[in-house]
Amino acid sequence: MSLLPESFREELRKLAFLSTGESSPNPPVSCLITNVENTKIFAQGRTSPTGGPHAERNAYSEFLKNGYSDTPHNVWVTLEPCSHYGKTPPCLDLILEYRPKTLYYGWKDPNPLVQTKDGLEECLRQGIKVVQDRTLEEIAKESLFGFASRLETQTPSMIFKTAVSKEGFYASSDKRRTQLSGKLTSYYTSLLRAKCDAVLVGPGTLFYDIPGLDFRFPKMETWEPRKNLTKEFSKTEGILLQEFRENFFGAPALLKNILKLGMDSDIQRIHGVFENAYQPYRVFILFEEKNVTAEFLEKQRAINERLGSQKCVFLVKKDTILKEETKEELRSLSEKELFFVDTMMLAEETLKILSEIGVNILLVEGGNLLYEKFQSKMKADDVILKIQTPTSIQEGIKPKLRMNDSTLLWKSKLEEDIWEVHTCLRDL
C-alpha cells in the first residue's frame, strides 16, 4: 500500500505531463519533497527542457529557497536518481548531501550509464531508507515509457493517428484535403503534438496536404472550454474506461492524460507561454522532387522564423535525384543533415534515425504508406488513435490500420467526435 496521498499523486502525474514533450532525450521525471509524515509538500520539481536540471535538482532548489535546508524530509521521485555525469551533475549527489529519511522511487533507471553504479545501494549504506513505491511505479509507466523504449529497443514509442469520416474514409478519392474533426478534437490533437517528440508524415501527405506539423497553442477565447469530458460515456464506454484506468499504461495512458489534464488552467498557461519548448521534430519522408513544393518550403520557412528554430527532419529515398538547389533549401530548414533511407527498410531505418536524435515518442500522422510500413513494428504499449467524425466523404480512401473490436482499449466522446484507442491487431 502506498503512503502517498491522492492529491500528491495527481501533482506528480501533472508534473510528469508538463515535462513530456519538452525534456527529450531526457525522461519526463517528476519529484516531490514532503515532510516525514507525508502530509505536506515542501517542494516539487520536474525535468527541465533538454540540457537543464533534472527533477530532483529542481525540487531541491525550491526546497532550499523555501528555507527547509535542515528540515527532515522524504523524497518521492518517479525514476531512481541518476548517478552519472551528463550535462548536469548526478542527482544522487543531492540525495546523499541532504539525506532524506526515505527515498521513494518508481522505476529503476534503464539507462546503462546509471546501471554501472548502484545509487540505491549507496543510499542504503548511508542510512537512507529506500522504497520502491507501487503508485510511483504506475506514474512512471504512464510517463517514462517512451524513454524506456528508446533505451531498451533503440526505437521510440509510437502513436498512429487517423481521423475518418462517418463512412470510414480518412481522405477523399482525389486526396483533396478535408477538415474532418471538430474544434475540440483539434485542440486536443494539437496538445498531442506537444506531447510527442516528433511528428511523421509520408510523401503523399506532404504533397497533397502541405502540412506544417508544428504545435500551435489554440487561442482559448475562440471557443468555450469543456470540462469533465470523460464523464460523457455510455454504459459500455464507462466499463472500458474503468478497465483502462486499472490495466493500461504507456501511450494509452498518455492519451487519457491529455483528455484528463488538457483543460487544467496550469497546463494551458504553461503550454501557451512556453509554446516553443514543446515543438516536436517535423519529420518528412521524400520520394521524389515533386514532393517538395514551393508552398511547402514557404510554410516551413515561416514556421522556423516564428519559432526561432530549425526542427525539420528530412528522410529522402535512396537514389532519389534532387536538384542541388532543392537540397540546399531542405538543409536550410533543418539543424540535421539529410538522411537517406532504403524504402525496403523504411520503418526500421526511420525509427533508428529518430531514436538516435533523441525521440522518445513518435506521432505517425499518415498516410497509408506509413500505416502499412510501420504498424508491424508496433510494441505492446504503442497505440492507434482513431477519431470517428460525423463528416461525410462519399468516395474515399480507408486507413490501412489493422484494428477491430478486440483491439479497442477505450473510447471517449468529444462533442460529435469519438476517440477510439486501439492496440494493433496481431497475426494469429
Residue with cell 504545435: 215
Residue with cell 475540440: 184
Active-site residue, 56 included = yes
Residue with cell 490533437: 189
**Alpha carbons 389 and 418: distance in angstroms, whole number:** 7
DSSP state of 231: G
Of residues 377, 347, 196, the one with CA closest to residue 285: 347
Cis peptide leading into residue 367 (ω within 30°) = yes
**Alpha carbons 206 and 209: distance in angstroms, whole number:** 6
Residue with cell 527532419: 313
Show the 3-state SS of 37-95.
CCCCEEEEEECCCCCCCCHHHHHHHHHHHCCCCCCCCEEEEEECCCCCCCCCCCHHHHH
Of residues 386, 332, 366, the one with CA closest to residue 207: 366
Strand partners, 317: 341
Looking at residue 140, its amino acid is: A
Looking at residue 221, its amino acid is: E
Cell of 406: 478486440
Of residues 22, 14, 409, the one with CA closest to residue 194: 22
Decide if 188 contacts 262 (C-beta within 8 A): yes
Q: Count the Cβ atoms, other than its own, within 10 Å of residue 64.
A: 12
The backbone torsions φ and ψ at residue 315, rounded to the nearest 5 degrees and listed phi first, read -110, 115
> Half-sphere exposure of residue 347, counting CA atoms within 13 Å on the CB side?
16
Decide if 284 contacts 314 (C-beta within 8 A): yes
Active-site residue, selected from the candidate residues 56, 80, 142, 420: 56
Enzyme catalytic residues: 56
